[in-house]
């Protein structure tokens, strides 16, 4: 998840569904802006949040363009937001760690359809075909950045085996940047440079190499149309592994990410995204996949998500544009054992701990034909999220999955106001919360209108437990094993990332059941939570605390109080008092059981 969010107290969660378009967040880290360049519509917001450990500030390069802006220090954890009402390029820098001419900690907000050159060469048009020119590193160009700066659209940059200690910023479109050995062509940030690759141009493909030890992201596309990442390994980077933000028409495949304190793979702030993630492995991250406000022809399939703190988390937040998150398809994946205590973490991303798939405040998503095994909380959890606004989860569909060995429930719908969600028939006999979801699906019907407040309560408890938590250091996570390299990288044709989604659309929805290994079930045979916790959770699923149930309980108490008052006027009332005590006791036990179960499953 890109930014912390606060869960409102339960008595505030009935507020109206918002229409806000959100704001783009720019994180201030030590010492870089992430993202350094963002694009927003006219009139939208941009929020600067200091997620680092030292003070930073935001100073306009041209103060006349900006609204009144506070250039004083932004303390760690502080946030400042501005609305930009005119199209244009708004450049800025941190006066403590950058310069007015764009060196160091500097960036830009591009508003509306304004042209942003991004480099002295100016903005070049992307091309659909390779140029035929090959630029070799280091035999022709000593550095990758030097080859990128010298290249023309459509060129192929071939990088020999070796360690390259640099950050590569790409402003020339339609380049293909390829290593000659995925495991031995290494871009090393040495824990001092922000990104391995920072791609600001359309149509750029990056292939067959490893990116490690960047303080922010391994491979990062931002504000582009057309991107492709293949045969990439990204490990032990300080935010995300492989990351596409405010970008569309993309493909991430045959890649690996680990050791990220936020997400191994991330696609955010796009609709429609027109993007595919397939045949990737994400493990030992805070979250395997995170997608804030992303969807619309977005497919995540045929991949392995394991040993993260949490699995896949499409989510809605106001800290990015285009909420709510919607229309993502998650299918044919192997999702197992996302209960890690040794993976790194940062901010509130560890809130997803112990869950396979979390649809947080999302709408019209489909989770189908996945194998989901061994999660301490839920195999699939649908729940609202609250940021500046409250975002219910609506219209999501869960069907045809193979879900076993979940702690609280295989499928849960958390409330309030989670409406129109559908739990259809699954491949296994699932446990659900509320239990009525499972009854309906086993009869061939659809469950989903009732929603349980327990997951929301557990999430609120988790937020309270985050204070002062220290996670394992992302810098010291295990080095991953060697990954399969791209066939014939020396001679394989170069193909710019042009009309990427159209080129793979016909290959989607192949209905490929994930391969199963005995080791998965060895782990799953051990209950992820204790037997007592699981039994209490099973009982509570049959007695869910729902918004309708709370209203009925309150109405019952009110009616009993009215009867008691009438009987007292007649000098009676002993029987009504006893009935009222019984009703109150049963209600307290009912709510108390939900609180106990939420507490048991609120660990992080």
Q: 601 and 529 in contact (C-beta within 8 Å)?
A: yes
Q: 517 and 410 in contact (C-beta within 8 Å)?
A: no
Evaluate whether residue 463 is within a structural domain: no
Decide if pLDDT at 462 tops 90. Answer: no
pLDDT tens-digit readout, 149-197: 999 999 999 999 999 999 999 989 999 999 999 999 999 999 999 899 9
288 burial level (CB within 10 Å; 0-12, 13-18, 19+): buried
The pLDDT, as a whole number, for residue 21 is 60
The pLDDT, as a whole number, for residue 471 is 92
What is the rounded distance in angstroms from the CA atom of residue 447 to the CA atom of residue 541? 14
Evaluate whether residue 99 is within a structural domain: yes
Evaluate whether residue 78 is within a structural domain: yes
Helices (H), ranges, 391-499 = 436-442, 454-465
Strand partners, 277: 252, 300
Query: What's this model's pTM, rounded to 2 decimal places?
Result: 0.87
The H or E element that residue 280 is part of is: none
How high does pLDDT run on average in the chain? 87
Q: 38 and 26 in contact (C-beta within 8 Å)?
A: yes
Decide if pLDDT at 237 tops 90. Answer: yes
Evaluate whether residue 96 is within a structural domain: yes
Length of the chain: 604
What is the rounded distance in angstroms from the CA atom of residue 436 to the CA atom of residue 447? 7
Evaluate whether residue 29 is within a structural domain: yes
Q: Which of 231-240, 271-280, 409-418, 492-501 has the lowest mean pLDDT?
A: 409-418
The H or E element that residue 211 is part of is: strand 204-212
Confidence of residue 282 (pLDDT cuts 50, 70, 90): very high
Separation in Å, CA 491 to CA 47, 158, 208, 228: 45, 10, 13, 18
Percent of the chain residues past pLDDT 70, beyond the cut: 90
Evaluate whether residue 260 is within a structural domain: no
Residues 6 or more apart whose Cβ sits within 8 Å of residue 576: 560, 563, 564, 567
Output 564 or 593, whichever has higher pLDDT. Answer: 593
**Angle at alpha carbon of residue 245, lines to 277 and 142, rounded to 5°:** 90
Q: 354 and 603 in contact (C-beta within 8 Å)?
A: yes
Confidence of residue 567 (pLDDT cuts 50, 70, 90): confident
Cα torsion at 60, 64, 65, 71 (round to 10°)?
30
What is the rounded distance in angstroms from the CA atom of residue 466 to the CA atom of residue 371? 30
Decide if pLDDT at 238 tops 80. Answer: yes
Strand partners, 217: 195, 240
The pLDDT, as a whole number, for residue 23 is 78
Evaluate whether residue 82 is within a structural domain: yes
DSSP secondary structure letters along 216-277: SEEEEEES-EEEEEEEEEEES-SSEEEEEES-EEEEEES-EEE--SSEEEEEESBSS--EEE
Confidence of residue 123 (pLDDT cuts 50, 70, 90): low
The pLDDT, as a whole number, for residue 516 is 67
SS3 595: helix
What is the rounded distance in angstroms from the CA atom of residue 165 to the CA atom of residue 63? 36
Strand partners, 330: 300, 367
Output 445 or 177, whichever has higher pLDDT. Answer: 177
The pLDDT, as a whole number, for residue 233 is 98
The pLDDT, as a whole number, for residue 55 is 84
The pLDDT, as a whole number, for residue 18 is 36
Q: Which of 81-95, 218-232, 454-468 has the lowest mean pLDDT?
A: 454-468
18 burial level (CB within 10 Å; 0-12, 13-18, 19+): middle
The pLDDT, as a whole number, for residue 108 is 92
Q: Which of 81-85, 206-210, 497-501 has the lowest mean pLDDT?
A: 81-85
pLDDT tens-digit readout, 323-358: 999 999 999 999 999 999 999 998 777 889 999 999
Which range of residues forms the domain containing residue 26? Answer: 10-34+42-111
* Domain CATH code at residue 53: 2.60.40.420
Tell me the mean pLDDT in the region 575-591.
Answer: 83
Report the domain count for the chain: 1
pLDDT tens-digit readout, 385-404: 988 899 999 999 999 999 99
**Any idea which residue has 């929020």 for tokens?**
47
Evaluate whether residue 100 is within a structural domain: yes
Confidence of residue 379 (pLDDT cuts 50, 70, 90): very high
3-state secondary structure 542-569: HCCCCHHHHHHHHHHHHHHHHHHHHHHH
Tell me the mean pLDDT in the region 506-527.
Answer: 69
């Amino acid at each position: 998840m890109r930014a912390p969010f606060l869960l409102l107290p339960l008595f505030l969660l009935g507020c109206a569904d918002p229409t806000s378009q959100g704001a783009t967040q720019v994180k201030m880290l030590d010492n870089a802006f992430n993202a350094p360049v963002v694009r927003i519509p006219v009139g939208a917001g941009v929020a600067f949040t200091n997620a680092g450990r030292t003070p930073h500030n935001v100073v306009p390069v041209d103060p006349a363009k900006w609204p009144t802006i506070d250039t004083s220090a932004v303390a760690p954890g502080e946030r400042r937001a501005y609305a930009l009402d005119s199209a244009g390029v708004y450049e800025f820098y941190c006066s403590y760690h950058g310069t007015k001419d764009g060196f160091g900690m500097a960036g830009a907000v591009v508003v509306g359809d304004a042209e942003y050159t991004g480099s002295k060469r100016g903005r070049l048009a992307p091309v659909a075909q390779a140029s035929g020119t090959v630029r070799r590193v280091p035999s022709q160009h000593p550095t990758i950045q030097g080859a990128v700066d010298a290249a023309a659209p459509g060129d192929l940059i071939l990088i020999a085996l070796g360690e390259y200690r640099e950050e590569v910023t790409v402003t020339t479109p339609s380049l293909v940047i390829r290593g000659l050995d995925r495991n031995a062509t290494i871009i090393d940030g040495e824990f001092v440079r922000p990104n391995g690759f920072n791609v600001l141009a359309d149509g750029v493909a990056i292939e067959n190499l490893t990116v490690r030890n960047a303080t922010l992201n391994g491979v990062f596309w931002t504000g582009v149309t057309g991107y492709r990442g293949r045969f990439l390994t990204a490990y032990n980077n300080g935010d995300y592994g492989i990351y596409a933000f405010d970008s569309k028409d993309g493909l991430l495949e045959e890649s690996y990410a680990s050791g990220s304190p936020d997400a191994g793979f991330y696609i955010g702030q796009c609709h429609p995204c027109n993007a595919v993630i397939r045949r990737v492995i994400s493990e030992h991250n805070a979250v395997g996949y995170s997608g804030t406000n992303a969807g619309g022809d977005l497919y995540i399939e045929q991949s392995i998500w394991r040993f993260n703190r949490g699995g896949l988390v499409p989510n809605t937040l106001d800290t990015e544009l285009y909420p709510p998150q919607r229309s993502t398809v998650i299918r044919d994946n192997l999702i197992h054992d996302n209960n890690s205590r040794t993976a790194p973490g940062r901010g509130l991303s560890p809130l997803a701990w112990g869950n396979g798939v979390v649809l947080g405040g999302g709408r019209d998503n489909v989770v189908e034909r996945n194998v989901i095994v061994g999660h301490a909380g839920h195999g699939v959890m649908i729940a609202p999220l609250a940021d500046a606004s409250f975002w219910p989860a609506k219209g999501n569909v869960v069907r045809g999955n193979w879900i076993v060995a979940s702690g609280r429930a295989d499928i849960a719908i958390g409330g309030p106001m989670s409406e129109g969600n559908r739990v259809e028939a699954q491949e296994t006999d699932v446990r659900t919360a509320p239990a009525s979801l499972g009854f309906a699906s086993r009869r061939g019907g659809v469950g989903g209108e009732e929603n349980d407040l327990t997951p929301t309560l557990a999430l609120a408890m988790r937020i309270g437990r985050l204070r002062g938590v220290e996670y394992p250091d992302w810098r010291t996570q295990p080095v991953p094993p060697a990954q399969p390299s791209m066939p014939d990288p020396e001679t394989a044709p170069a193909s710019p990332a042009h009309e990427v989604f159209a080129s793979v659309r016909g290959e989607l929805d192949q209905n490929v059941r994930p391969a199963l290994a005995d080791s998965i079930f060895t782990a799953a045979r051990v209950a992820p939570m204790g037997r007592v916790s699981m039994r209490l959770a099973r009982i509570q699923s049959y007695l869910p605390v729902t918004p309708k149930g709370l209203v009925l309980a309150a109405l019952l108490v009110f009616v009993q109080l009215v009867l008691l008052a009438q009987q007292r006027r007649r000098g009676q009332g002993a029987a009504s008092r006893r009935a009222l005590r019984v009703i109150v006791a049963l209600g307290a036990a009912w709510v108390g059981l939900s609180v106990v179960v939420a507490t048991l499953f609120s660990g992080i």
